[in-house]
Amino acid sequence: MQLSELKQQGHVWHLNQAPRPEQALCPTGFAELDVLLGGGWPCQQVIELRTAFGIGEFRLLLPHLQQQSSRNKLQVYINAPAQLHAPFLRSQGLPLWQQLEVRAKEQDALWAAEQCLKSGSCSTVLLWQQSLNIARLKRLQLAAAEGQAELFLLRPSEPSQLSLPVGLSLALSPAPQGLQVRVLKRRGGWPGAQQLVNFSQRWPRLVQPALSPQKEQLTAPAALAI
Q: Point out which residues bind another protein (CB under 8 A).
A: 15-16, 18, 20, 52-59, 72-74, 80-91, 95-97, 99-104, 108, 111-112, 115-116, 118-122, 147-148, 173-175, 204-206, 208-209, 216-226
Shortest Å, Cβ 11 to another protein: 19
Least gap, CB of 59 to another protein (angstroms) = 7
How far, CA to CA in Å, does 186 sit from each of 19, 36, 46, 54, 157? 26, 10, 12, 24, 17
Nearer to another protein, 158 or 216 (CB): 216
Name the residue nearer to another protein (CB basis): 98 or 186. 98
β-pairing verdict for 99-102 and 194-198: unpaired
Q: Would you call 78 helix, strand, or coil by DSSP?
A: strand
Please, which residue, 81 or 188, has the CB nearer to another protein?
81
Q: Please state the closest distance from residue 138 (CB atom) to another protein, in A.
A: 19
Closer by beta carbon to another protein, 160 or else 217? 217
Query: Closest CB to another protein among 46 and 65?
Result: 65
**Contact (Cβ atoms closer than 8 angstroms) between residue 152 and residue 103:** no
Shortest distance in whole angstroms from residue 199 CB to another protein: 10
d(CA 13, CA 6): 9
Q: How far is CA 55 from CA 43, 125, 176, 180, in A?
A: 24, 20, 11, 10
Neighbours of 42 (CB within 10 A): 21
φ, ψ at 127 (rounded to 5°): -125, 120
Residue 38 Cβ vs another protein, minimum distance, rounded to whole Å:
25
